[in-house]
């Protein structure tokens, strides 16, 4: 009987040892899973923050580009208006008088000698 009891004790010990090893391996697996989950969460947080910063920068660039587009559109409208007026007879006559100093036939030109502009 002593031998049977010893065998039973050994079996219990080995069974307890296996159970003890199983518990440790479960704890290790849990720690590894926890570490992997934490790494994933940290990566996801980093990616989210990085994307938000990129979106913010791109929205500022978009606002600047939209402002530039609006400026170009307004300049374009002014130039179109200038083209329309430059083809008119009144504009051509005014430019001929102001820039070239031309006069119509029969017009008399008076020069004021008292002003400093004409004295030169």
pLDDT digits (tens, 9 = 90+) for 77-118: 999 998 888 888 888 888 888 888 888 888 887 888 887 654
Sign of the Cα torsion 78, 81, 87, 92 reads negative
Q: What percent of the chain has pLDDT over 70?
A: 73
Q: How far apart are CA 86 and CA 94, in angstroms?
A: 10
Q: Output the pLDDT for position 48.
A: 98
Q: How far apart are CA 33 and CA 45, in angstroms?
A: 18
Model-level pTM greater than 0.75?
no
Q: Output the pLDDT for position 119.
A: 45
Query: How far, CA to CA in Å, does 115 sit from each of 27, 44, 103, 119?
Result: 102, 78, 21, 6
Say if CB 112 and CB 118 are below 8 A apart: yes
């Amino acid at each position: 009987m002593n031998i049977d009891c010893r065998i039973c004790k050994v079996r219990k010990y080995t069974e307890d040892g296996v159970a003890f090893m199983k518990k440790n391996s479960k704890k290790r697996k849990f720690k590894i899973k926890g570490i992997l989950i934490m790494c994933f969460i940290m990566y996801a947080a980093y990616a989210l923050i990085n994307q938000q910063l990129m979106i913010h920068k791109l929205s500022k660039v978009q606002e600047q580009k939209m402002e530039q587009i609006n400026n170009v559109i307004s300049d374009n409208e002014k130039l179109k208006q200038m083209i329309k007026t430059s083809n008119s007879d009144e504009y051509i006559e005014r430019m001929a008088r102001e820039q070239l100093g031309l006069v119509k036939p029969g017009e008399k030109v008076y020069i004021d000698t008292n002003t400093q502009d004409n004295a030169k």
